[in-house]
Structure formats: structure tokens, C-alpha cells
Structure 1
Amino acid sequence: MDMSELIDPFARLIEDICTPAAIREIEQGGDTAAMWKAFLESGFLDALVAEESGGAGLSLSDAASLIALLGRHAVPLPVGDTMVARALLAAAGVEAPEGPIAIATGAGAAPFAAVATHILSGAPDAPVVTPANVEPTGVPHDGGAYVSGLDGKALRPIAAALRALLISGAAERVMEMTVAYANERVQFGKPIGKQQAVQQQLSVLAEQAVAARIAAAIGARAGLRPKLVDAAIAKHGTSLAAGQIAAIAHAVHGAIGISEEYDLQLLTRRLHGWRLADGSEGYWAGVLGELRMAEPAKPTADFIRGA
């Protein structure tokens, strides 16, 4: 299948319904029904569901570009979570609810849980879906929430791969916005992007955005049941990049970047949220270290190649 046949209409759908104004309205407690109905009726929520179960049968690697688009456009609903959840539920023979489903793994606040009707926990082979009973984080405009009483630790690798893809999409958009701003913002008679110090920072930002995309691809390559080492590489790499990308973007933009009216903060807030969700870079660095030390006789180069 030519993936552009899926990517292009999905991008148009998001651009039509997820405008910055619509995102802000939902973040301020507005109704999510119309936006969710558009995603539900589009059929994209079943992109990862097997064909024999009525879905498109895409692998996570095939759908990576679709999920990255959700991050790029700061979609304020758990569309990626629901795509994964519906696929896991279908494979287990469990009927999925029509409403938005957030994945909760017990590692910090669950992204999108505050705007979900259901929560997915359990394990990839034994998923459990329950009505959302959540506690808000207390952070203004935050769609995440704390979920207690559910065991979703076994879902942490697939959730980590999902967050990595969202980060990669947001990172690319932040890079584009920052480069454009640096080329347009004039100080002392020339664009600030002509200054060597700013150029150096933009180079680092671009490097980290590419690193995030590569790391996210590693997490997606094995599908809905990623190897633990792949998930660790993906989430560690993208979370590490997320912090640097957000910091550089705000440094280049200056005060305008944190203003509520400017769209950059819609993305950088999500970069920080997804960075911490389902295990931060520190958590996944520990997982990688444990995996490495479990094979002390293997040369490190072979461990890396095997990953």
C-alpha cells in the first residue's frame, strides 16, 4: 500500500478539526464530542486492527507516520492510545467502546486520561478496559490525569513506543517553527538566524529532532509487542531529545514562546508531558543498563547491534 494514500487524508482531517483554536477550547474544558466523532467516523482508529477483525491491518511501523502527525498537530485527544487499545482489544476478542481510550501504565500521569471515557490497563495479551475514574493533575490545560487501582505496567513498552512517536512528530514541528522564527525575527538590522550562536543552537535542535525520529522508529519496528530493549531505546532517546528541543526553541523565541497566544507552547508542553509519561529518560536508561548487565559476557558492540 502507498502510505501517502493514508497519510494525506489523515493530515487533512487533523488540519481541519484540530486547529489551534479547537485545541485551546478543549484544553479549557470544552466539549470533545465533535472532534472525537470526526476521528471515529474516519475509520483511522482501527488502522492497527487486523483485517479479519475489520481494521486496516497496519503494523505499528506502517502507522508510525500517522501517530507522529498527532504529535505534530498537538491533537488533544487520545487518538494514538485508542488506535493501540482497539487493536489489542480486537486481538483479545474484547469489544472496544466507541469513546476515547487512554493507556495507563502506572508511571506518572497518564496522557489524555482527563479527556478519555475509558482506561486501558492489563497486558498486551490480556488487555482490560474500564470506565475512566481519574484524578486531575492540577496543572492548567493539562489533559493528563492520575489513574489508580489499575495494573498496566505490562503495557509500558508499547506505551513508551507510542509516546516516542508523538514526541518525534511534535519535535519536527517545533524545529520548523523555530527555524522560521529565527529567519523572520530581525534584530540590529538582520535576522537572528544569521547570528552564529543562534545557528549553532538551531543545528543542535535539528540534530535532536532527527535523533528523536530515529529512536521512535526503533520503538515501532517490532509492532504492538515491542522488545523491551527497543522500547527503552525509543523512549530514552526521544525523552532526552524532548527536553533539549523545548529548551532551545524557547531560548530562540524568547518571551513570545511562552505566551498563551503563541502556538509553540502547545507543543513544548506536550513534549515535557510525554517525556515523563510511561517512564522518563532516567527510568528507561536504567532499563537499558539492566538489560546490558544481564549479558556480561557479550561485547557492548554486539549488544548494540543485537538491539
Structure 2
Amino acid sequence: MDDLLSDALRQLLEDQCTPQLVRAVEAGQSPGELWAQIEESGFADAMVPEEQGGAGLGLSDVFPLFALCGSYAVPVPLAHTMLARALLANAGVARPQGSIAIATSSGMAARVSFGAVADWVLTGVNGATVLLPVAEANAERDVFPLDATLRWTEAAVARAQRIPGTHDLEALQACTAAAQLSGALMNTFNRTLQYANERQQFGRPIGKFQAIQHQLSVMAEHTFAARMAAQIGCHSAMATPDRLRVAVAKSRTCEAAIEVAALAHSIHGAIGFTAEYDLQLYTRRLHAWRQAAGSESYWQEVLGEELVDRRNGLALDLIRATTDIHQGD
């Protein structure tokens, strides 16, 4: 099932989400055509219960799809929308058309990952979870071109749809960021490995030099450890992740993002920094998604506080509880 889903989304993104399109959306072109293709494919409703028209998949099932969003630098919040629509469906709230970004906020303002391209934002205001239209917000573009700081008026917030229940939006956002990081890390590593095997210097590929081989091995270590950690963060049969598992996933993928981005550019040299070369599409995302929903230091503090609170337990117990993906949910 995982292979069928992954292959279907991979083919769609291979055809529709080219580096040229990603650049165009980052430059301000509407992602509407791409989103229409994704919407028609049904992937946006993959986590919605079957009785409400979705596929009823859990987080573990859709992890490969989240990772593909990172692998192809998808310039729309597909992973966010999948989780947000599942949350709305489970809360008995009608799902709107269009893409939904998930964000934590302070009052009526939110720094939103994908805020510049989303149609809606699922966020928290004054202790309530609300669904706000991006069209009614005052938008200020962030450093990363797909992100934005959005501010709504009191009137817009008063009109917004309230979502019943208590929801850990921070964990949801961090979960998607970790999974997308794992995909972008894998793409960055594969591109760098290919470049090292093709780039000739002193009569042979630079990948034959021991120094480059060492850098590639460090990249591989971080990349595959991050993927395993991201899988742990998405280990759930439901649409909601475990916060401690998310902490493991986000902290490890963030650590990897720093190292892998630096090593990729070191191996590529000057060409890796040019706008015309595709590498920067992925390394910029590594840095942007590392900051989204808390960096490694934030989530390491979450794990540290949990360890301190377990005064009568062993550190090994916490490690087992957060990393054993074979135990019951």
C-alpha cells in the first residue's frame, strides 16, 4: 500500500512539480494549477475518514508522502493540508476547498510556513483553534519566499470557524516539518553523491578522494538517522502524533539539516550557491524547515523536561517509550 501511494504521488510530482515551477512559485506565480492537480488526485483527503470521502490513513501510512513533499520541494502545504483536513473531519467541521497551512501564533498574528501560498491557516487564537482565510489577512513576506507573517483584524477572527476540542498544533506542524526535512535531506545527499561521482578533478571523480568520501559518509549518517527519526515522529495509526516522538523527530532532523546543508555546499563548491543550480532549492528548505515549529534546541528541552519529570524512571525507559515503533499505539 505504501509503495502504491508513494509511486502515485511521485509520478504526479515528477510531472507537475518541476524545479522550474518551484522557482516560478517562489517568484510570485500562483500555485493554483499545481494545487488543482493535487486536489484532483485525492491526496489532500488521504487522512480523512473513509465515511467522509477520504482514505482513512494514519500518520504512519502517509509518512512517505510527507517525505516526498520535501524530496520535490513542493511549494504548497500538502502535508499540512492532509493533517488539517483530518483534524477538521474528526471535529465534525466542514472542510473548505483549497490548501491549509498549520501555524502556532501569538494573538492575531502568526508567522506561517507556506503562508504566502496557502488559502487557509489553522491556528490558535486566545486559547481556541480557528480556521482563518489568508485572503482576509495583512501579509508580510518572510525571508523564505513561501512563508509569511499574517495578521488578522479582530473582526476577521470573530467571524472565523472555531474548531471544537484541544489540539497540539505545534506538534502537528513540527511533525510535518520533520518528515519534509527527511525528504529534502535525502534529495540533497543523493544530488551531492551524484555530483561527486561526476565532477572530475586531477583526472578522476572528486568522489574518489578520501576527504570527499569522508564528507559523504557523514552526510549519509545524518540523512538516514534523520529519516528514521522522522518515521518515529509519524508513528501513529491516527492523525495525531505523540508529542515526545515528535520531539525526537524534529530535534534529530534539525541537527541533520545544519550538517548536511553545510557539507553539500562544501562538496559542490561555488556552483551550489548559484540561483540557477537546483541544490539551493533544497538547502534553503533545510534551513527554513529547521526553524519552523521550533528548532533542535527547543525540542531537546521538551525531551529534557520529560526526563526530569520522570524522577523515578530511567533514561532508558524514556528512550524506549519514544523510539520503539513496534509497540502498540
Same fold by TM (over 0.5)? yes
Alignment CA distance shift 1:109-1:190 (3 Å)? farther
What SS is found at the alignment partner of 1:221?
coil
Q: Give, in angstroms, the shift of residue 145 of structure 1.
A: 1.2
Aligned counterpart, 2:101: 102
Q: TM-score, normalised by structure 1?
A: 0.94
Whole-angstrom distance in 2 between the partners of 1:134 and 1:215 = 36
Listed as ranges, the gaps of 5+ residues in structure 1 are none
Whole-angstrom distance in 1 between the partners of 2:36 and 2:222 = 35
Check the 8 A contact 2:77/2:100 in 1, yes or no: yes
Check the 8 A contact 1:89/1:127 in 2, yes or no: no
Check the 8 A contact 2:140/2:150 in 1, yes or no: no
Whole-angstrom distance in 2 between the partners of 1:134 and 1:39 = 27
Aligned residue type for 1:204: V
- Among 97, 108, 117, the alignment partner of 1:115 is 117
- Among 293, 296, 299, the alignment partner of 2:308 is 293
Whole-angstrom distance in 2 between the partners of 1:303 and 1:221 = 16
1:146 is aligned to 2:149: yes
Spell out the pairing of 1:1-307 with structure 2 (5 A cutoff). Answer: 2-106=1-105, 109-122=111-124, 127-132=129-134, 133=137, 135-139=139-143, 142-148=145-151, 154-222=168-236, 223-307=238-322
**Which moves more between the two structures, 151-160 or 12-21?**
151-160
Whole-angstrom distance in 2 between the partners of 1:65 and 1:128 = 28
Q: Give, in angstroms, the shift of residue 255 of structure 1.
A: 0.7
Aligned residue type for 2:226: A
Aligned residue type for 1:161: C
Whole-angstrom distance in 1 between the partners of 2:247 and 2:234 = 11
Report how many residues are paired: 303
Q: Give, in angstroms, the shift of residue 106 of structure 1.
A: 3.0
Whole-angstrom distance in 2 between the partners of 1:144 and 1:91 = 27
Check the 8 A contact 1:122/1:154 in 2, yes or no: no
Q: Give, in angstroms, the shift of residue 111 of structure 1.
A: 1.4
Alignment CA distance shift 1:217-1:134 (3 Å)? farther
Q: Give, in angstroms, the shift of residue 6 of structure 1.
A: 1.6
What SS is found at the alignment partner of 2:116?
helix
Q: Give, in angstroms, the shift of residue 59 of structure 1.
A: 0.7
Aligned residue type for 1:105: T
Deviation sequence 1:253-285 (CA, Å, 0-9, x none): 011111111111001111110000000001101
Deviation sequence 1:131-153 (CA, Å, 0-9, x none): 112533442x6101124568998
Deviation sequence 1:84-129 (CA, Å, 0-9, x none): 1111111111112111111111398321111111101149xx7521
What SS is found at the alignment partner of 1:62?
helix
| RMSD between aligned residues | 1.9
Check the 8 A contact 1:109/1:137 in 2, yes or no: no
What SS is found at the alignment partner of 1:119?
strand
Whole-angstrom distance in 1 between the partners of 2:9 and 2:318 = 38
Whole-angstrom distance in 2 between the partners of 1:127 and 1:53 = 21
Aligned residue type for 1:291: E
Check the 8 A contact 2:67/2:179 in 1, yes or no: yes
**Which moves more between the two structures, 90-99 or 259-268?**
90-99
Aligned residue type for 1:118: W
Aligned residue type for 1:145: A
Deviation sequence 1:54-110 (CA, Å, 0-9, x none): 100111110100111110000001111111111111111111211111111139832
What SS is found at the alignment partner of 1:113?
coil
Whole-angstrom distance in 1 between the partners of 2:38 and 2:80 = 13
Deviation sequence 1:227-276 (CA, Å, 0-9, x none): 22111101001111111111111110011111111111001111110000
Whole-angstrom distance in 2 between the partners of 1:137 and 1:31 = 15
